[in-house]
Amino acid sequence: MLRPFSLFLILFIITIFPVLADDNPPVLLFYASGGYLEEKGKFISGNLQAILDGSDDELPILVAYGGIEAWKGIRYVTRSMLLDDSRNGIFGDDTKTLYQNEAVSMGDPKTLSTFLRYVRDIYPYDRLWLILIGHGDAYEGLLLDENHGDDMLSTSELGIALAESGTNIELIGFDACLMATLEMATEVDGYASWMIASQETEPGMGWDYYTWLSDLTTIDEIQLPDAAFSLLQAYMDQKEPGKTLSILFLDETASASHSLGELARALLTLLKTPEGVQHIEAALLDTAHFGLTDTMELVPVTLDILSFTNSISTTIPYLSSLAKTTEEAVDKMIIRSRRDSAVSDAHGISLISPLLMTPDIYAIYSKQNAVHRDWNIFLEQYAQKHPALALSQM
């Protein structure tokens, strides 16, 4: 005979996670920090509403959100709780939650790891899809929390959170600007198998959750990569210009990083002469960069790796073999990549650009990112030998 507590736990789990036709569906985890995106245009509220409108009660969904004055700390809610909360048009004013802690920061890795451990301990499935929603800033991280001085989850802190959670994530998605980087892939490799993110900045509303989740509700068995292709298509079909989105296979990350390190060693040799520095600058100037502003002006924060290797082959022919090896290794990570007509030469994965590198920027970057030791050494020495370009020179 079941004890009362055991029966309660079974009923609780069934209530949160209804049974689908698929015997092993993913649990969809949405982790959103409002920050200035919510204050500026209620963009995160728009995402939450689209998640509700596109899904139904048969999709196993948990949402954790915070990051603005009205959403202090973090709260975990089921889809049904979020639906009840939305009835007055305002998210966050309902007291019914699975868990709430008003003291924590969305930029603290412990906040994310606590959420993932909570899910690990109660959910009945073994497939997790984690979607992070909020501000993104390339190598610096993502998810601003205005309640804690715009505290942000750095790339290295995300790795710490995933490691401490003890969870294996099938798909990790970044609905945030400039996140399809080798730096980010390096951090999440080993904790997730697939990654979906944008090389470029994103329009304010981000991904099209309504269309994507509506598609998922019609599928008997939700599997990758088809479900990721559906998300990519829904996002790219939106009208706002300047969009890219990539689906990456993380098992190939270490090989790509190793090849980049070998190329970096060759570039370090070039830095020994003024002519070599000029050749590197010429290759960089011929490389596609990312960092579109709201007015569609480009601030070159990151570069497209495959565009860079192609430029090296053209500008520095004797390095073409190394560049080709790096290109082939990186290309194995890219399952699918799309860009619209406002973005040129985007192939799927990016890297911080040396063009605007300064010793101060390198000091920030090196504390949080470790794609490869030799790449970091190259960045540091390039910053010392070559002044960062003014934007007018781009």
pLDDT in tens, 252-267: 999 999 999 999 999 9
Q: 235 lies in a domain?
A: yes
Q: 3 lies in a domain?
A: no
Q: 48 lies in a domain?
A: yes
Given 214, 240, 266, the domain boundary residue is: 240
Q: Do 174 and 305 have their domain in common?
A: no
Q: Do 208 and 306 have their domain in common?
A: no
pLDDT at 388: 60
Q: 182 lies in a domain?
A: yes
pLDDT at 385: 79
pLDDT at 13: 42
Count CA atoms closer than 13 A to 112's CA, side-chain side.
30
- Total tally of structural domains belonging to the chain: 2
Q: Do 292 and 183 have their domain in common?
A: no
Q: What is the CATH number of the domain that holds 167?
A: 3.40.50.11970
Q: Do 235 and 265 have their domain in common?
A: no
Q: 269 lies in a domain?
A: yes
- Could you tell me the CA-to-CA distances from 165 to 159, 162, 169, 330 in Å, in that order? 10, 5, 10, 28
Q: Do 208 and 64 have their domain in common?
A: yes
Q: Do 189 and 326 have their domain in common?
A: no
Q: Do 168 and 195 have their domain in common?
A: yes
Q: Do 382 and 234 have their domain in common?
A: no
Express each pLDDT in 92-132 by its tens digit: 998 899 999 999 999 999 999 999 999 998 887 789 999 99
Q: Do 269 and 220 have their domain in common?
A: no
Q: 301 lies in a domain?
A: yes
pLDDT at 22: 53
Q: What is the pLDDT averaged over residues 232-242?
A: 95
Check residues 294 and 7 and name the one with the higher pLDDT. 294
Q: 24 lies in a domain?
A: yes
Point out the least confidently predicted range of 20-29, 43-52, 345-354, 370-379: 20-29
Angstrom distance (rounded) from CA 276 to CA 274: 5
Q: Do 263 and 171 have their domain in common?
A: no
The domain of 220 spans 18-240
Q: 101 lies in a domain?
A: yes
Q: Do 33 and 160 have their domain in common?
A: yes
Q: Is the pLDDT of residue 18 over 80?
A: no
pLDDT at 389: 53
Taking each helix axis from N to C end, the angle separating 253-270 and 320-331, rounded to the nearest 10 degrees, works out to 160
Q: Do 226 and 299 have their domain in common?
A: no
